[in-house]
Amino acid sequence: MGLGVGLIGSGYMGKCHALAWTSVATVFPDVRRPRLVALADATPELARQQAEAFGFGKGTGDWRDLISDPAVDVVSIAAPNEFHADMAVAALEAGKHVWCEKPMATSLEDAIRMRDAARRSGKTAILGYNYIQNPMIRHARTLIAEGKIGVVNHIRLEMDEDYMADPAEPFYWKSERRSGYGALDDFAVHPLSLLSILHGRITSLVADMAKPYEERPTRGDGYRLVENHDIAQALFRTDAGASGVLMVNRSAWGRKGRIALQIFGSKGSILFDQERMNELQIYSTNDPLDLQGYRTILAAPTHPPYRQFIAAPGHGLGFNELKVIECYELLQAIFGEHDAHVIDFERGLEIERAVHAAAQSAEGGTWINVGSVGFLMMPETLNPS
């Protein structure tokens, strides 16, 4: 039998993990069916009920039990963000592999602590950046790597949704400062994960953050000041020499799951929008002049690992299936595949650093060198071990 799986958290993302663990062996013929060992949630009752619903062997109200269970080889962490660091570090120290939902942590210190734990453990530790698993994103990566659009020189990244767009929506924890910067850490990590896969790393940036609504109604009859920013944008430069713009907005009426990429190179360009996740657009100067134009490539069996899901082109993968691919890639990483297509804790920390750099820049109004962030803030981490 396959690896033993422990799942912490059974809300929406927990369900996603459960579906992935359930389906991965059916979809990928080279995978041994994982054993769904244990599920942990806030109370023993809830945990037992969800374990039954999701097909796990048992439920527990204490995630530390799950982590110390010798039958568990890999721990899925889909608990609230503030627990990610403690759970991931504990699991790694217990010798388990870790699959942790994004965002990595609620502070850069915690993210560094997680990265250090992963380094020390030698275990596989990855983050749930599922958008990178889209076959169309991988196809974009291949096309870029093959030079199909030449040398990339300009990039625009947008991520927008509208769940905070209604000014009549009462104040809740998402607008509290302690929940984070706002759109910046809710969203920016996603396009940055794609940038990391497709191109490289942001080296410097200048950012701005904005509040569409200064205050929001409380459940009572008053108003409360909004403490973080639903909108953020940054100008940036990358290690590969490109300029770019990053834009995120969680109060963008009409946008539901938009992650729009525009990548310009010396021989063409590539466009992508997650709202049409089965499509990729490319403009190539290799085409004859009278036939140049953006072409829309539909996801197909020629774009791995689409073929494992569907035999015919153009039939469409879904968001949840990206998680199944992520699960597969996690297994590849665990079993030593060096090309496993994952964002591990090392790379995840880079992404976190860019987010914190943006927040710092927005406060100061100046360009920031991303590499300096964290080290400046927390010099003690320079010699982590």
Give the residue with the Cβ less far from a second copy, 119 or 148. Answer: 148
Contact pick of 275, 337, 346, 363 for a second copy (by CB under 8 A): 275
Per the DSSP assignment, residues forming a β-bridge with 91 are none
223 binds a second copy (CB under 8 A): no
Q: Which amino acid is at 363?
A: E
Q: Which of these ranges, 79-87, 108-116, 318-326, 340-348, lies near a second copy under the rule CB under 8 A? A: 318-326
Contact pick of 65, 109, 176, 208 for a second copy (by CB under 8 A): 208
Contact pick of 6, 180, 182, 268 for a second copy (by CB under 8 A): 268
Preceding omega of 170 cis (within 30 degrees of 0): no
Q: C-alpha 133: how far from its chain's center?
A: 10
Question: 24, 354, 302: which is closest to 184 by C-alpha?
Answer: 354
106 binds a second copy (CB under 8 A): no
285 binds a second copy (CB under 8 A): yes
Q: Give me the least distance between CB of 73 and a second copy, in Å please.
A: 19
- Contact mark string toward a second copy, 125..144, x via CB under 8 A: --------------x--xx-
Contact pick of 269, 345, 351, 374 for a second copy (by CB under 8 A): 269
Give the residue with the Cβ less far from a second copy, 280 or 343. Answer: 280
Restricting to residues 3-32, name those near a second copy by CB under 8 A.
12, 15, 18-19, 22-23, 25-27, 29
Give the residue with the Cβ less far from a second copy, 113 or 258. Answer: 258
Give the residue with the Cβ less far from a second copy, 90 or 298. Answer: 298
By rule CB under 8 A, what count of residues binds a second copy? 100
Give the residue with the Cβ less far from a second copy, 313 or 371. Answer: 313
Contact pick of 62, 287, 346, 363 for a second copy (by CB under 8 A): 287
Per the DSSP assignment, residues forming a β-bridge with 182 are 229
Restricting to residues 161-180, name those near a second copy by CB under 8 A.
161, 163, 165-167
Restricting to residues 224-263, name those near a second copy by CB under 8 A.
231, 233-235, 237, 242-243, 245, 247, 249, 251-258
Distance (Å, whole) CA 288 – CA 385 = 57
**What are the phi and psi torsion angles at 256 (to 5°)?**
-115, -40
Give the residue with the Cβ less far from a second copy, 147 or 167. Answer: 167
46 binds a second copy (CB under 8 A): no
Distance (Å, whole) CA 31 – CA 34 = 8
Phi-psi label, residue 40: left if phi above 0, alpha if psi -120 to 50, beta otherwise: beta
372 binds a second copy (CB under 8 A): no
User: Using only C-alpha atoms, what is the Rg of the chain?
Assistant: 21
Distance (Å, whole) CA 372 – CA 350 = 11
Q: Give me the least distance between CB of 166 and a second copy, in Å please.
A: 7
Distance (Å, whole) CA 314 – CA 333 = 29
Give the residue with the Cβ less far from a second copy, 45 or 275. Answer: 275
**How many CB atoms within 10 Å of residue 13?**
18
312 binds a second copy (CB under 8 A): yes
Per-residue CA distances from 23 to 2, 51, 97, 366 (Å): 13, 16, 19, 48
Residue 118 tokens, joined: 């992963």
Give the residue with the Cβ less far from a second copy, 10 or 124. Answer: 10
Distance (Å, whole) CA 226 – CA 196 = 32
Q: Give me the least distance between CB of 330 and a second copy, in Å please.
A: 18
Preceding omega of 103 cis (within 30 degrees of 0): yes
With H, G, I as helix, E, B as strand and everything else as coil, classify residue 48: helix
384 binds a second copy (CB under 8 A): no
Distance (Å, whole) CA 361 – CA 378 = 17
297 binds a second copy (CB under 8 A): yes
Distance (Å, whole) CA 162 – CA 92 = 36
